[in-house]
Amino acid sequence: MKTPQFTLLCAWLLLAMMGQSQTNTVGTISYDAALAVDGYTLIYPHNQPHARLIDACGEVVHVWTNDSLRRPGNSAYLTPFGDLIWSHRPANFQSDPIWAGGGGAVIEGRTWDNTVQWNYTLNDSTGRLHHDFALTNSGTVLAIAWERIDSLDAIAAGRNPALLEDGELWSERIIELQPNANGGADVVWEWRAWDHLVQDFDSTKAQFGDPALEPHRIDVNFGTPSSAAPDWLHINSIDYNAELNQVLVSVPTFDELWIIDKGVPEAGLVWRWGNPEAYGRGTAEDQQLHYQHAAHWLDAPYHMNTPDFGKIAVFNNRNPGATGPYSSAHLIAPEWMANDTSAAYAMTGNDEASTYAPMDFDWTWTAPTPTDFFSSGLSNFERLPGGNNLILSGRTGEIFEFTASGDTAWQYRVPLQGGLAVSQGTELGINDNLLFRASRYPSQFPAFNGIDLSPMGTWELDPSPLVSCSPCDLDVVLTIESEFATVDVTGANGEVSISWIYEGTTLCTGPELSMNACEGNTSELVEGDQILVHIVDEAGCEFSTTFSWEIVSVAERTEDWRVYPNPTSGELRLSGISEATESAVFNSLGQCMAHFMLAPQPGGTTIDLTHLPEGAYILKIGARRTRILIQR
């Protein structure tokens, strides 16, 4: 909850707050602070050069700027130390020897204040960085790079010449970059897909064999090329698991995920999943992934000690449906071979038709009407702390957060059109505001320790803050009378909730505390009981204060009477009784235990309660009540 400041002035309690209700089309569209995970989202949209960290209200809290002639290439990630590692490329790629969607050029490290620490460039006729990279726990970076293969070399490796266009083929490398003292980076490890081939097209060429018998190898003649004809594998995501020392990649042209053992790179693929037809052990009917993106292990600190730890999250872009394509999000739980000392991944059986386990997804999300949610490319899915889910539709630049039960916690849409900020209310179309990846960092992320994350304004023009994001400036007036209290609240954002609470129990809700308004729940209150009034509006602005319950009017209070000793062993003395007054004693069930008339006496009046058992009672004298305790 957001807590506004307030001023106490005599009997008046002042708070203030402004807000308005509207339907936003860009920026933060909806936000429920009670449901959303507290944190900040890193966005690095296409068609512009900068990366921004935003809060749930769409306010920019930090920005890393780049040259106006640079573009994302495509990922950006924060380290726990507060550095930004990002990839970028020239805006103009027309003369580049290798280009396809997702192309990059430079991976770079910058400090929180945007100072360049190091960078590494690969963008020439031999290869090009592209799409994604992964950070390791040792400070290195694992990057994806296209590797140009000459057509003659491709044919010598068994590639079907009919599948070659433009006289070349692009394979993939994974390179590990170690930043050096000279502001650059050194390649300290490498894995090449070209070293792990199999083919059953030409028995006279290298690596001839049956792909079904060698699932750890890559069929050089399988796959559907991407937007560029030579782009054979088009790996679009990479992740690293420090505990396993393994690398996970997404290969959309194979509709598969692959795992590589970094410690045993010669082993090839130690696990693959999503399309067993890619290694000759299935048909199109067995395919479960469809041009997927953003595969990663759930191994963040907040996943530990949860049932999700160690599973793989993936965004499934192009599911075929009877009424049209749709996108989905999934968790996958790879299985290990039982009692196997080598810790190999399990298969679904023991014969040559077996595929890598599991048989199916561990968890699946689709829209209630699946075809209502579709992004043919880009996009990602994250499992957040507490079981919330963050899903990006990359083609429309829309980010959704929803709870495990499906309630919407947050919705945001990148307020750009062709890289330029648009006004609130603008209706955007598909591909207007492309976003490759949305990454949520919890508010407890170490990089934020001691950092000023004050809002700097929204990215969209002419912003219109949601009610839940409005500033807290409520006006509240509390009025107290005999057996009655009321609050008058003005300036609230939306509806206001008011609760009257005594000793942890809510007596009633609403603007009035009285016998009638609270259905008799105030009947047991006595003079001086401390009542808490709690007020909260739709923006999460809240106010609480405690006051003393009154039984008599101010005029009656001038009659100074008191009861003593309290606690008592059974005999009470009352002083200040000025006229004959009816009196009674009630137990905690409201039953009358004694009834008598009090008459004024010099030196006070005595009441004998020795016949009552030990316990708490209410003594009523005229209109006034007080609590007494009998102890022996």
Q: pLDDT tens digit string along 22-39?
A: 589 999 999 998 899 999
Q: Which residue has tokens 């991407």?
A: 226
Q: What is the pLDDT of residue 12?
A: 24
Burial category of 617 from C-beta neighbours within 10 Å (exposed 0-12, middle 13-18, buried 19 and up): buried
Give me the chain's average pLDDT, please.
90
Q: pLDDT class for 561, splitting at 50, 70, 90?
A: low
Q: Is the predicted pLDDT of residue 13 greater than 60, yes or no? A: no
pLDDT-derived band of residue 478, with 50, 70 and 90 as boundaries? Answer: confident
- Per-residue pLDDT for 309 more than 80? yes
Q: Which two tokens stand for residue 291?
A: 């041009």
pLDDT tens for each residue of 99-134: 999 999 999 999 999 999 999 999 999 999 999 999
Average pLDDT over residues 292-312: 96
SS3 522: coil
Residue 413: strand pairing partners = 27, 398
Q: Identify the pLDDT of residue 581.
A: 82
CA separation for the pair 65, 57 (Å, rounded) = 21
Q: Is residue 14 pLDDT above 90, yes or no?
A: no
pLDDT greater at residue 497 or residue 618: 497
pLDDT of 18: 28
Least confident of 203-212, 355-364, 522-531: 522-531
Q: Given this model, what pLDDT does residue 554 score?
A: 46
**What is the per-residue DSSP string for 608-631?**
E-TTSPSEEEEEEETTEEEEEEE-
| Placement of tokens 């290694």 in the chain | 279
Q: Which long-range contacts (CB under 8 A, 24 or more apart) does 244-251 make?
A: 246/270, 247/134, 247/142, 247/174, 247/191, 248/295, 248/296, 248/297, 248/312, 249/144, 249/174, 249/295, 250/292, 250/293, 250/294, 250/295, 250/314, 251/223
Instruction: Please tell me the predicted confidence (pLDDT) of residue 5.
Output: 31
- pTM, two decimals, is 0.78
Q: Is the pLDDT of residue 202 over 50?
A: yes
To the nearest 10°, report the CA torsion of 352, 353, 358, 361.
160
Q: Is the pLDDT of residue 289 over 90?
A: yes
The whole-number pLDDT of residue 532 equals 94
CB-count burial class (<10 Å; 0-12, 13-18, 19+) for 504: exposed
Confidence tier at 21 by pLDDT (50, 70, 90): very low
CA distance 313 to 126: 32
**pLDDT at residue number 502:** 95
Would you say residue 3 has pLDDT above 80? no
Could you tell me the pLDDT band of residue 275, with boundaries at 50, 70 and 90? very high
Decide the pairing of beta strands 197-198 and 218-219.
parallel
Cis bond before residue 567 (omega within 30° of 0): yes
Residues 513, 500 contacting (CB under 8 angstroms): yes
Mean pLDDT, residues 431-455 = 96
Q: What is the DSSP string of 547-605?
A: EE--SS-TTGGGS--EEESSSBSSEEEEE---S-EEEEEE-TTS-EEEEEEE---TT-E
93 touches 99 (CB < 8 A): yes
* Residue 491 pLDDT grade (very low, low, confident, very high; cuts 50, 70, 90): confident
Specify whether the CB–CB gap between 248 and 295 falls below 8 A: yes
SS3 for 193-205, per residue? HHHCEEECCCCCC
